[in-house]
Structure formats: C-alpha cells, structure tokens
Structure 1
Amino acid sequence: MRTATSSSKFLKSVVLVTCLAGAGYAMAGAPEAENGRYTLSTTADGVLRLDTRSGAVSTCGNSGSGWACYAVPDERAAMDSEIGRLQAENERLKAELASREPTVSGKTEEALPKSDSLKRSEPKATENERKIEIPLPSDRDVDRMMSFLEQAWRRLVEMATRVQRDVNGKI
C-alpha cells in the first residue's frame, strides 16, 4: 500500500509539475508584445479598438452575423499622400516652366514713358480742398422708412398691451 500511495503522490507531483511547466511554456511561448496589444474603448455603436503596436484604429460592432471590426480611415496617411502628390506635381510644373523660353525679350527694368496710361492720375482737387459728398435718400426712401417705423411702433405697443393684460389676468 505504501507503494500505491507513494506512486500516487509521485503521479500527482508529475502532473502538477507538467501542468505548471505547460502553463509557464504557454505564457513564455506567447510574445510579450501580444499581451496588452489592443486597447478597447466603448462607444455608442460598439467598441473602438486601438492597436498599440501599429497605431491602427478599428471600430468593432456586433451585427446580426457576429462581431466584426473595420479599419477607420487614417486621415494622416491620406493627408501625407496628398501632400506627396502635390509636391511631385509642383516639381513637375516648375520643371516645365523652366524649360519654356522666356516670353519677354529685352530689358524689363526700364522706366515707363511719361505718356503711359498706367500713370497715376492727378487728383482733381488739391489736398486742402477735398470734399466728401454723401448722397441723401430720396423722399420715397424716407417715406418707406417712416412707414416701417410706424408699423414697428404699433406692433410694440400692441405687444406691451397684451403683456399687461396677461399680467393683470384680463385675458
């Protein structure tokens, strides 16, 4: 009986050691980077998943057929690609412009002739005699404004009268 008990203890110890070794191997076998790789945050529509290794963001939701995650478009990558495209186009246009022949020949730094139409016109009055003229509204415009103000005033008085009746309880 002693052998059965000692062999049973031995068997239990072997099983225990094997389980512990297996658990340790399983933990050691999984890369440490996998532990805690994703960060999850709940949203109204489901879950927002952040891959801490790559920085990719996905939205996950439970549809009728099960959970599914879809990558959120990376605006930064889209902007970077657009900037790269525009820089390449800018360089191409600069090269095309540089390859063209100059359209203007001769010296361009020459002074304009005195009879040039681009010359600034002289003021009609001297600096001391400047006058500002403001056009006044016509009689029709004044009548329209007065009629508008009269209507607004009447409405304001009617509104004040209604409020006063409401306050006094004479509805």
Structure 2
Amino acid sequence: MTKAMATACLAFLFPLCAGAAEPDAARFELQRSGDHFVRLDKQTGAMSICQDKDGNLVCRMAADERAAYDAELDRLSDRVTALEKSVAANEGKSTLPTDAEVDRSIGIMERMMRSFMGMVKEFQNEEQTDKPLPQKTRALYE
C-alpha cells in the first residue's frame, strides 16, 4: 500500500471514528441550580449533580437515586448468594423427573384424553339421533 493510499484511507476513516467516540450532545440536559448543575439523561431519566472542579465538570448520582441503586445492588447480591447456595446444595442431584414420574404423568394425560374423546363421541351420537335442523337459508330467487 502506498503512502497516498494509506493517507486516503485514514482521511476517510477518521471522521467515522471521531463521530463514534463523541457522546450524543442531545442526550443530556444541564440546568444551573445555585453553584452546581443538574444533569438529566434523556435516555434513561437518571439525574446527576455536577460541579465545576478545576475546569472539569464532575458529576455524581443524586442522593435518592444512589440509595435506590444501592438497595437494588444489595437485593441482587442477596439473590445471587441464594442461587449459589441452592446450586451447591443440589450438586450431584438431578432435578429431572424420574422415569416412574414421567410414566405416571403420561398415564394421567392418556386417561384425560380418552375421557375427553368419549365425551366428544357422546355429543356426536346425540346430534345424529336428534331430528334434523330446519334449513335457515332461503333460495335467492323464489
């Protein structure tokens, strides 16, 4: 590849890479509130408190959101711990039904289907013994 071709490739790809690295400017909204800013993430609805520190805008979660975040994190951590204990307790044990349980279930379903099909046959026999239904359609041209 020549130097000119490499330069052309870089010139073409650089704007694409630069655009991908930039955050969406319309995603956040800043509002001044006293000596700090409130930043709203329009995609997620999360709010942050931001302050200017040495020319940089430093943001942190709002207190009530942080408490909700910590509570959810604790809940998920407890759930993971409970699941890990459950897996450890069942190690080596199969949670699949035994052959006897499968056979029993199939037997129950078979009896249910035979009973259902018997009822269907009874209804069909009743319809055949009843008198014929009157015709409810008329000829279009009488």
TM range (shorter): 0.3 to 0.5
Which structure has the higher relative contact order (CA within 8 Å, separation 6+)?
2
TM score, norm. by length of structure 2? 0.33
Which has the larger share of strand? 2
TM score, norm. by length of structure 1? 0.28
Which is higher, the Rg of structure 1 or of structure 2? Answer: 1
